Structure 1
Amino acid sequence: MLTAIVPLDLKRRPKDLIEKAKKLAEKAAENNIKIVFGYNNRNTSHDINFLKSMGKYLNVKIRQTQNFGPSINTSQLRNLAFEGVDSEFIILLDVDIYPDFPLFIECQKEVYQEKKPFIILPCLYLTKHGTKLLTNRTLDKDQIKDKFFSFSRKEFLHLASPSSIVIFRKDDYSRIGGFNESFSGHGYEDFDFLIRLGSAYKLIKKPNDFLLDIPYRSPLFAVGFRKSLGKLCIDSLVKKRLAFHLYHEKDSDEFYYKSRKNNYVIFSDIHMKEIDTKIETEETLVEQFISHCNLIGSTYQLYSIFFDNKPGHIDRVDTLKRRLKFIFNI
């Protein structure tokens, strides 16, 4: 049995999150999947609405806490949700993830068969237009994916590889100590968790450049810790196993997003102690990706989109507000 643990705090965009939570619960029930929400109840009318709406789903548990401060501690909420898990396998999800449970179950079966200790799914972030096509069933998930591999731009913002969507054994969550609750707000708590999970299976090395914090549009151009984690996603990329992140408005000035700088300091302080100067920097992910394609008898030319590192440009921006911000660099 597979259980999704999902953090939820309705401080931001409550109506959107409630609707997505209901859809996630509904699709999980259809696929015999349990959900445990780690939930921060702020005692608002939205919280009352959410709790009432979840009452009809027998596959849903809600583990609650109360924090009325400005911060959202996703790590705390995930750890809270974990306490309600009674299945052998877990998937980390957010309510913004498209509920592709057949894909998640397929991955869980591979972990069960011990083909892999865990599976991290790369995640395609959809634009408002792409989200509408998928959720309105104008296009199915395979058709949306085909558009991505055909270099269509208006449906997609970027590809996150790695992402925080990971399928693994419940025992491993406990073994590595769960999420570090020192992280608060947005960013780096998922990288920290994945690094510790990979390290538990001796799949992560920490060379001199490990703490480089440079994002690239191409998943194969990654450096530093993103490269170390990206190596663990190569098989998923080659198999075109991609999750989808549904669009929502984002205000980078929000307190939630401003916490990234402080979270990186926490992240670097933790992992700086484990840098091994004797480890030579590994070959690039481009080289590793091509080697993996050769190993399974595929050709890297089928995945040209993964090599696309063109900076953001106007045809990726699908709303007037975002276009204006892009044009005026604000």
Structure 2
Amino acid sequence: MLTIIIPIDLHYRASDIIKKCKLLFINSEGKNINFVFGHNNRNTKADKTFIKLFKNVSNSKLISSQFYSGDVNSSLLRNRAAEVVDTEYICLLDVDIWFDFSILEKYHNRLVNNCEPFYIIPCLYLTKLGSDLLTKEKISSSKLIERYFSYSRKEFLHLASPSSITLMSINDYNSLGGFDEKYSGHGYEDFDFLIRLLKLYNKLEDKNDFLSNNQARSPLFATGFRRYIGEFCLKILLEKDIALHLHHKKPTILNYTNARKLNYDLFSNKHSSHCTDKVDYDTSLITTFIKICNEKSYDLIDYSILFDNKPGHIDRFDTLKRRIRFLING
């Protein structure tokens, strides 16, 4: 049995989150999994509606309380949910994830068989079109991933590798003290957690560019901590085992940028000790990826999409309205 931990705060886009919870329940019927939801109850009408979802659900626990006010604190919600987990293994998930549960089962089995102590699953972010095709059952998740590797653009925004989707033991989660609850709002709490998890198993080296915060469209061109964490997703990428992130409108959060900056300041202060004079002259994951392809006899041509690092060009937008908005905003 595997327990999936999901944080819920309905401060923003409440109806969308409730809709996606319903989808999770429908898609997980008959699967050998449990859910634990950590819910910050703000005592709104939406919160009351959300709580009612659990009346007839047998495979889910709801840990609901008014834990805080103000900015969303996903770290705290995950930690409160983790306190009631009664299985050996967990999966960290967000409510927006559409998962092929056979992938969860595959890596859960590998955990049980001690193949690796944890797995970090890559995640494809979908456009509204891609999300609609999936949720309206016009295409399967596996066929949608095939489209990505065949250079289709209109269904996808970008590939996150690493992502926050992690399968691991609850004992490791507890030994790390869970997520750092000082991260508030959006950003960096997942990177902080993954770095500590990798360090727990001596799987991360200190490098001079460790705190580089540059982002790349393709995970093969990642730098800094994203690159060093992302190296542990490459074998999973080769197996094309990828989760899908359903589209949602970005909420208008006045302090979004400021919160990310504060979180990065916290992150960089915590992990500054990982910066050393040791220089890695291979500045991307390309060489490592090609080496793994050769070792495992994968045809590199099948993965050529991963070498596309083109920024957010107009071909990423799935509707005329979004393309026009992109052009106007420059």
> For the superposition of Structure 1 and Structure 2, which TM-score range results when normalised by the shorter chain?
over 0.9
2-structure distance, mates of 1:309, 1:204: 25
Q: Percent identity?
A: 47
2-structure distance, mates of 1:270, 1:114: 30
1:122-174: per-residue Cα shift (whole Å, max 9, x none)?
10000000011111111111210111011010000000000000111111101
Aligned to 1:224: 224
1:256-286: per-residue Cα shift (whole Å, max 9, x none)?
4541111100000000023233x33263310
1:101-127: per-residue Cα shift (whole Å, max 9, x none)?
211111111111111111111100000
Aligned to 2:182: 182
2-structure distance, mates of 1:257, 1:65: 28
Query: How big is the shift at 1:329?
Result: 2.4
Aligned to 2:11: 11
Query: How big is the shift at 1:200?
Result: 0.6
Query: How big is the shift at 1:82?
Result: 0.4
Aligned to 1:49: 49
Runs (5+) with no aligned partner, structure 1: none
Aligned to 1:280: 279
Aligned to 1:209: 209
2-structure distance, mates of 1:329, 1:273: 40
SS of the residue aligned with 1:54? Answer: coil
2-structure distance, mates of 1:171, 1:69: 30
Aligned to 2:248: 248
Q: Under a length normalisation based on structure 1, what TM-score does the superposition of the two structures give? A: 0.96
Q: Is the 8 A contact 2:13 2:251 kept in 1?
A: no
Q: Is the 8 A contact 1:71 1:255 kept in 2?
A: no
Q: Is the 8 A contact 2:186 2:256 kept in 1?
A: yes
Stretch of structure 1 that moved more, 170-179 or 252-261: 252-261
2-structure distance, mates of 1:137, 1:29: 16
> 1:127-206 alignment to 2 at 5 Å?
127-206=127-206
Distance change (3 Å), C-alpha of 1:255 and 1:324? farther
Runs (5+) with no aligned partner, structure 2: none
1:23-47: per-residue Cα shift (whole Å, max 9, x none)?
2133334212100001000001111
Distance change (3 Å), C-alpha of 1:161 and 1:80? same
1-structure distance, mates of 2:299, 2:102: 26
One-letter amino acid matched to 1:101: F
1:162-192: per-residue Cα shift (whole Å, max 9, x none)?
0000111111101111100110111100000
Distance change (3 Å), C-alpha of 1:282 and 1:244? farther
Aligned to 1:311: 311
One-letter amino acid matched to 2:303: Y
Q: Is the 8 A contact 1:252 1:258 kept in 2?
A: no
2-structure distance, mates of 1:147, 1:115: 30
Whether 1:87 aligns to 2:101 is: no
Query: How big is the shift at 1:325?
Result: 3.7
Distance change (3 Å), C-alpha of 1:252 and 1:326? farther
1:47-78: per-residue Cα shift (whole Å, max 9, x none)?
11110112211111111231463300010001
Aligned to 1:103: 103
Aligned to 1:290: 290
SS of the residue aligned with 2:178? Answer: coil
SS of the residue aligned with 1:290? Answer: helix
Q: Is the 8 A contact 1:71 1:256 kept in 2?
A: no
1-structure distance, mates of 2:103, 2:254: 33
CA RMSD of aligned residues (A): 1.6
2-structure distance, mates of 1:55, 1:98: 23
SS of the residue aligned with 2:208? Answer: coil
Distance change (3 Å), C-alpha of 1:139 and 1:21? same
2-structure distance, mates of 1:204, 1:66: 37
The alignment covers a number of residue pairs equal to 329
Distance change (3 Å), C-alpha of 1:262 and 1:324? farther
